Amino acid sequence: MYLLMSVFQIVAAPAFLFGSDFFTTFVSLKQSIMVNRLILGDNLEILKTMESETVDLIYLDPPFFSNRNYEVIWGDAGEVRSFQDRWAGGIDHYIAWLKERVIEMHRVLKPAGSIFLHCDWHADAYIRVEILDRIFGMNRLINQFVWKRSSNRSSISKAARKNYDTVFFYSKSGQYTFNLHFYGVIQGLEKFV
């Protein structure tokens, strides 16, 4: 299985890893092309160089259209890394930017390929309707996972704080693979499995 992962924050995972204005990229593709290779560049430019229908699975974690600046203390030396999630052209500019990349991702997916796109409340409805449904088709939505964050201390005084992310799961065709794995159940939660 070939995995293309496009994320915009630092995580430990084999595949694409993108951050800040430019994207840092791990790619795990055919051995003849590249294996576990770090590529620095705009993921759109990288995608355009890839052959069509060569990727089984894509995980995409783009900026969330939060209109915020972020600073992260990185490593033992306390290096400060920062990036902006601000879009001068508003939601239309953000959606156009992301849509262009998802079109290329759709092109590189194999016919039985799937994409998981992680987003939050800032643009999830726009992403689903304006990008994923239009590119993959409404009938290719396999599932929508709601991921509740374990804590949100800043929301104690706010009754309806947005404390979740969304992961959309789409397939390029009806022929996709999804392997369900259970790694143990927390005591008391057996009745929910």
CA distances from 90 to 4, 15, 102, 123 (A): 28, 30, 19, 11
The percentage of residues in the chain with a pLDDT greater than 70, rounded to a whole number, is: 67
Which secondary-structure segment (H or E) carries 18?
none
How many domains is the chain partitioned into structurally? Answer: 1
Rounded CA separation 36/11 (Å): 14
Lowest-pLDDT choice from 65-69, 105-109, 137-141, 163-167: 65-69
Residue scoring higher pLDDT (60 or 26): 60
Residue scoring higher pLDDT (124 or 67): 124
Domain that holds residue 182: 3-192
Give the CATH number, domain containing residue 165.
3.40.50.150
